[in-house]
Amino acid sequence: MSGGDAPDQDGEMVAQLQRGEAVGVEALYDKYGRLAYSLAYRILMERTAAEDVVQEAFLAMWRNARTFNAARGNLRNWLLSIVHNRAIDRVRGSTRIRKESQIETMERLIEVPDAWETVSAHLERKQILEGFALLPDAQRRTLELSYFGGYTHMEIAGEMGVPLGTVKGRMRMGLEKMRTFLQARGVTV
């Protein structure tokens, strides 16, 4: 349900949203709502806040559907970018929310679901998790602190006790390794 289907099949949803039809929001939620919530929860680690962010994101998409341009990205990524931005805004606006549990490493995610293997629609995620697993620990932790934790490069340098230049390098190298890994496996990047 949540995000496994090819984003290029979302054309009808886009058309419905752009016509102002609520049924488009329903279809969008049925397809990507769980994924959106999962991302919000991963960042905020708090159920109510994550649901608030997801609700805000869907309302934002409803209000701004006419500005969506499929040539610049797919519907799923647009939704997830809104969820991510709003969740990170909350994290950065409230240090209370930032917990150690939030910066847990990706290994936990990799260990858990071999269910990915049985669902071909989730192959893309499996590749992403594998790509993460293959990153050097320091690069992976740097990306996690930044993307899921909302940390700036300076905050990560302080957190990890390394020079700022090292953090910048780990960010760039980690992303480039991920890109190379995913491209080699046919994941659209």
Partner 1 sequence: MTTLSCAQAEDLLGANALDALTPQEARDVQEHLRGCVEHRQVAQELAQTVSLLALAVDEREPAPDLRDRILASIQSASSEPVHKPVLGPVVVPIRRAPRLPRWAPRPAVAALAAGVLLALGIGTYAGYRLGQESSRAVAYQFAGSSLAPGARANLVYLRDKHQAVVAVSGLQPLASGQVYEMWLVKKSGQAVDQGVTAASDGRITAQMTADLSQFKQFAITIESGERPAPTTPPVLAGSLTGAGA
- Binding site residues, partner 1, CB under 8 A: 2-3, 20-23, 25-26, 29-30, 33-35, 37-39, 41-42, 47, 50-51, 54-55, 58-59, 62-63, 73, 77, 80-81, 83-84, 88, 106, 108-109, 112-113, 124-125, 128-129, 132, 143, 146-148, 151-154, 156, 165, 167-176, 178-179, 182, 187, 189
Q: Which is nearer to partner 1, 20 or 94 (CB)?
A: 20
Give me the least distance between CB of 96 and partner 1, in Å please. 21
Q: Do 103 and 137 touch, CB atoms closer than 8 A?
A: no
Q: Do 127 and 187 touch, CB atoms closer than 8 A?
A: yes
Structure tokens at 100: 């150690």
Give me the least distance between CB of 168 and partner 1, in Å please. 5
Q: Which is nearer to partner 1, 2 or 68 (CB)?
A: 2
Q: Which is nearer to partner 1, 94 or 172 (CB)?
A: 172
Give me the least distance between CB of 85 and partner 1, in Å please. 8
Give me the least distance between CB of 179 and partner 1, in Å please. 5
Structure tokens at 57: 């994101």
Q: Which is nearer to partner 1, 39 or 94 (CB)?
A: 39
Q: Do 89 and 42 touch, CB atoms closer than 8 A?
A: no
Give me the least distance between CB of 94 and partner 1, in Å please. 17
Q: How far apart are CA 132 and CA 109, in angstroms?
A: 10
Q: How far apart are CA 30 and CA 33, in angstroms?
A: 6
> How far does the chain reach from its first CA to its final CA, in angstroms?
21
Q: Do 143 and 175 touch, CB atoms closer than 8 A?
A: yes
Give me the least distance between CB of 146 and partner 1, in Å please. 4
Q: Which is nearer to partner 1, 82 or 100 (CB)?
A: 82
Q: Which is nearer to partner 1, 94 or 112 (CB)?
A: 112
Instruction: Sort 153 into a burial class: Cβ within 10 Å, 0-12 / 13-18 / 19+.
Output: middle
